[in-house]
Structure 1
Amino acid sequence: MDPGPEEILILEPFYGGSHKKLIDVITSNLPSHQYKLITMTAKKWHWRARTSALYMSTQIPVYHKFKILLCTSVLPLAELLGLRPDLTKLHKIVYFHENQLEFPVRVVKDRDFQYGYNEILTCLTADKVLFNSYYNKDSFLSHIKSHLKLQPDYKVKNLEQIIEGKCYVVYYPMDISLMDKYLSLVDKTTSNTLHIVWPHRWEFDKNPEAFYRVLKRLDNNGYHFKVSILGESFNEKPDVFRELSRSLKESLLHCGYVESLREYYKILNNADVVVSTAIHEFFGVAVLEAVYCGCIPVVPKRLSYRELYLEQVEEVYDTENELYNILGDLCTRKEKGELNKDYRHIALQFESNKWFSEFVKLLSVN
């Protein structure tokens, strides 16, 4: 495919984090004259999911020659097409970083029906629906029926069958060259103490309480380790981070969001192990970045981790006790100088240049 001038319209209502990285990979591989990118800042996700269609409709040129519309699932595509019917003739492609049908909530009644409903409508109006993992795709399709059961009446059936025919799994791309650039600027330190990194959002769905319980148990039983807590925090931080900072302060190397990519990759480069205790993960970019930087992934046998790691990694677990035993063993092996595993080949499978050569085929209208 060789798109002409501004044939691709790219819309991203939440231009930050993994959403930004994906768009940047795509646009860096396209000549600037072939696309038009319209973004909104990565703030107030809930409002972006509710209202971005109206704003986007005012920013898209009235006169255009677009043939392809590419957006992420944050955008209510059906609303946009209602506001801008001239866009209905475009080949519409949606990328799902996550889905709201499977996204965990503390209390079922707290789930906002409209988010998931909008995603279903988006899929029905799109021509192609891309998911970043089979887990993401399968969990979305399998929850459509139960989500729509929340309606009191007039329920439409068999929507998952209509949507499934449009679905593709397109794993998230890893910008290896960018990581190499920063890794070349940092030094790797040596130590006999295991360095554990936890690079996730500070929210309940990443299950920081389980991580803290395991660390505290390791500490109480005399294991020596260092830990770096990374990831972004928001207004409502789980209380466990305050307790972790207090009771494990002797083991804590870093606690907080790292703005500088150079500093972020420096921490990953000097860590030995990356841990996930997530109860929700549709891909896991942060874990994969740490793996490329040399960390051993210690991840649960669930969610997207099952398809990415289960057949390639030994350090996977089912229970909190298994996580404790794995980390305890790694602490001991590190002290003995026996920690020499290399899982970087897993991240290399998703290298962005190879990824784009496959992705561009999906831009075809055929």
Structure 2
Amino acid sequence: MANWGCDVTTNCGERGPKLLIIEPFYGGSHKEHISCLIEGLIRNGIGYTLVTLSPKKWHWRARCSALMLRDKIPEISTEEALFCSSILNLPELLGLRPDLCQLRKVVYFHENQSIYPVKQVKERDVQYAYNEITTSLAADLVLFNSNFNRTSFLENINKIIRLFPDNRPKGIREQIEDKSKVLYYPMKYPVSTTDKVPQNSILHIVWPHRWEFDKGPEDFFDVILELKRLDCKFHLSVLGQVCADVPLVFHKATEELQEEIVHFGYLKSKDEYFEVLRACDVVVSTAKHEFFGVSTLEATYCGCLPLVPNNLVYPEIYPEECLYKSLNDLCRTLQKFCSEPKTVRELRRRLCLDFSKYCSKNLIPEYINVLAVNE
């Protein structure tokens, strides 16, 4: 049975808890994000109260977490600010808990729902995007994990408003834009990285993403199976979080790629995960919905050459030589790399990417500054 419990943790710091952190989906990158922030708070002697729900049933968390959390959030004592992800319906929570209105309210967007890929437009549930708009209006500061995330959200606000049958409010985008900024996701890179240069005679490809539709697994395996049809020699590791409804293509892959698969499935140990990444040559993304891409950046840091779409957030982070224009383009590049693995290693050695821009150690002081709890 799923654990729908709520956890509350308090650290009083030097002057009592100053920050109320609320995360309705406490798992994966959301959990790691909060962990990085908390480490920074503790280093600075800043107390906090952390209220979380387990990472189950995302859609229900987005719809109902405010009511679920209403009675779980402790009474405000010394807190000065509230920090939450955009999954939380903030105005709904403030209506249920008006005592929270006095806090400085900061919302963090890991993603936005206004451009979530759907097979047909009529399938899009605009309620999620609408909730993100009202949450942004209720906040004092709105943070995004990339310029792409911020821009795509702001550009789609008026599209959502135009769906209203009448009484369409004006100036909503401008109100949110004026109090929004980009603050990158804080990466915790592996402590020890070797300047490894894999000596594999066969190219090792890794796909380390969440096993869901929006990460484009069908496209990825179409390319990989085409490589096999072309008699390309390669090894394959498929990592990432396994979700409840795994797309059928993963089952097909285990049957048709038995000879190529080295690792297949989620690795609970982060150290083991990084070790696998260090043994790989190329990390591939075929995502349809990506606003930062933690796993791709982790793999790149561990020595993989990234091959990523020429859209979404990727041009913001990766140089042009890492971007592919189409799946055919991706397939041709991988085909070439399969025949010349040494080329990949030389390209990765020459790759110019400033990892420090996304490093937790460099970013957390800015988080504490914008939260205004270090005074």
User: What is aligned with 1:316?
Assistant: 323
State the match for 1:291 in structure 2: 300
Q: Deviations over 1:315-355 (max 9, x none)?
A: 31101111112112222221679646234844333111111
Match of 2:258 among 249, 252, 259: 249
2:86 partner letter: S
SS of the residue corresponding to residue 129 of structure 1 reads strand
- 2:37 is aligned to 26
Match of 1:363 among 351, 355, 371: 371
Q: Which residue of 2 aligns with 1:328?
A: 335
For residue 53 of structure 2, give the secondary structure of its aligned residue in structure 1: strand
One-letter amino acid of the counterpart of residue 360, structure 1: I
1:125-155 deviation line (CA, Å, top 9, x unaligned): 1000000011111111111111223322222
In the alignment, which of 214, 226, 251 is matched to residue 235 of structure 2? 226
Alpha-carbon deviation of 1:124? 0.3
What is the CA–CA distance in structure 1 between the aligned matches of 2:124 and 2:347, rounded to whole Å?
Answer: 44
Counterpart of 1:194 (choices 203, 224, 235) is 203
Match of 1:168 in 2: 181
Residue 174 of structure 1 contacts residue 352 of structure 1 at CA under 8 Å; is this kept in 2? yes
Q: How far off is 1:78 after superposition? A: 0.3
* Cross-structure match for 2:142: 129
| Kept in 1: contact 2:281–2:344 (CA 8 A) | no
Query: Aligned partners of 1:7, 1:295: CA distance in 2, in Å?
Result: 40
Is 1:152 equivalent to 2:154 in the alignment?
A: no
Secondary structure at 1:92 match in 2: strand
Shift of 1:63: 4.3
Cα 1:153–1:324, aligned 2, differ >3 Å: closer, same or farther?
Answer: same
Amino acid in structure 2 at the alignment position of 1:112: D
Letter in 2 for 1:261: K
Matched, 1:91 2:104: yes
Instruction: Determine if contact 1:10/1:35 at 8 Å carries over to the other structure.
Output: yes
Cα drift, residue 221 of structure 1: 1.8
1:217 is aligned to: 226
Cα distance in structure 1, aligned partners of 2:345 and 2:107:
46
* Distance in structure 2 (CA, Å) of the matches to 1:96 and 1:8: 18
Contact 2:282-2:344 at 8 Å conserved across structures: no
Structure 2 unaligned spans of 5+: 1-12
* CA–CA distance in structure 1, aligned partners of residues 76 and 262 of structure 2: 54
Tell me the amino acid that sits aligned with residue 61 of structure 1: P
Deviation at residue 170 of structure 1 after TM alignment? 0.7
Look up the SS of the partner of 1:250 in the other structure: coil
- List runs of 5+ in structure 1 lacking aligned partners: none
Tell me the CA shift for residue 262 of structure 1: 2.2
Task: Rate the CA distance shift 1:336–1:16 in 2: closer, same or farther, 3 A.
Answer: closer
Residue 53 of structure 1, CA deviation: 0.9
Q: Distance in 2 between matches of 1:358 and 1:235?
A: 36
Deviation at 1:90, TM superposition (A): 0.9
User: Does the alignment pair 1:119 with 2:132?
Assistant: yes
Contact 2:281–2:345 (8 Å) recurs in 1: no
1:5 aligns with 2:16: yes
Alignment partners' CA distance in 2, 1:136 and 1:75: 17
Distance 1:227 1:346 in 2: 27
Percent identical pairs in the alignment equals 45
Distance 2:78 2:88 in 1: 21
Corresponding position of 2:268? 259
Q: Structure 1 111/11 Cα, relative in aligned 2: closer, same or farther at 3 Å?
A: same
Cα deviations by residue, 1:132-189 (Å, 9 ceiling, x for unpaired): 011111111111111223322222122111110011001111112xx225x58xx986
CA root-mean-square deviation: 2.2
Q: Cα offset for 1:234?
A: 2.4
Alpha-carbon distance in 2 for matches of 1:337, 1:209: 24
- Of the three residues 301, 304, 307, the one matched with 2:310 is 301
- The equivalent residue for 1:69 is 82
Query: In the alignment, does 2:62 pair up with 1:55?
Result: no
SS of equivalent residue, structure 1 residue 29: helix
C-alpha distance in structure 1 between counterparts of 2:344 and 2:176, whole Å: 52
1: distance between equivalents of 2:166 and 2:119? 26
How far apart are residue 27 of structure 1 and its match? 0.2
The SS at the match of 2:191 is helix
Deviates further, 325-334 or 265-274: 325-334
User: Contact 2:206/2:237 (CA < 8 Å) preserved in 1?
Assistant: yes
TM score, norm. by length of structure 2: 0.90
